[in-house]
Amino acid sequence: MNGSLSGQLQDGGHVLTQRVYYEDTDFSGFVYHARYLHFFERGRTDYIRLLGVSQGALHGQSDPADAVAFVVRRMEIDFKSPARMDDVLTILTRPSDVRGARMLLSQTICRGEDVLATAEVTVAVVNGLGRARRLPDALLARFTGGAA
């Protein structure tokens, strides 16, 4: 795994750098509002990847009741300033609260020192049948900074 492609773990969270491409923008040249969801998702996915969690392995359990999946249950986004084509963005992801069958994550998209968007994300932990399940202890330890 190439860590540079997945960002880096830093200060109890995750930092990912992404460039804005033409495909991310609308006719005005600004990043289309729905594309921010993609940037936030990449931040969360790479954060989990760098914690050493293989989402494919979690989903691929032979018994669906034992599988673990993460689904966004709620997301509140505050758009502060637009990003433009060729901007280099930093996506910051930090756990706010991880327990039971949910995780609260705080995410920020910046261009340099300028905050462009923030999101508060509630992620539900479910099994392969779509039912809520507790985060396994080994995974909980990774999200909370303990030994795995």
Residues serving a catalytic function are 26
One-letter amino acid of 142: R
Do 135 and 125 meet the contact criterion of CB atoms below 8 Å apart? yes
Written as six digits, the tokens of 12 are 């109890």
- Report how far residue 148's alpha carbon sits from residue 145's, in angstroms, rounded to the nearest whole number: 9
Three-class secondary structure assignment of 22-79: HHHECCCCEECCCHHHHHHHHHHHHHHHHCCCCHHHHHCCCCHHHCCEEEEEEEEEEE
Residue 130 DSSP label: S
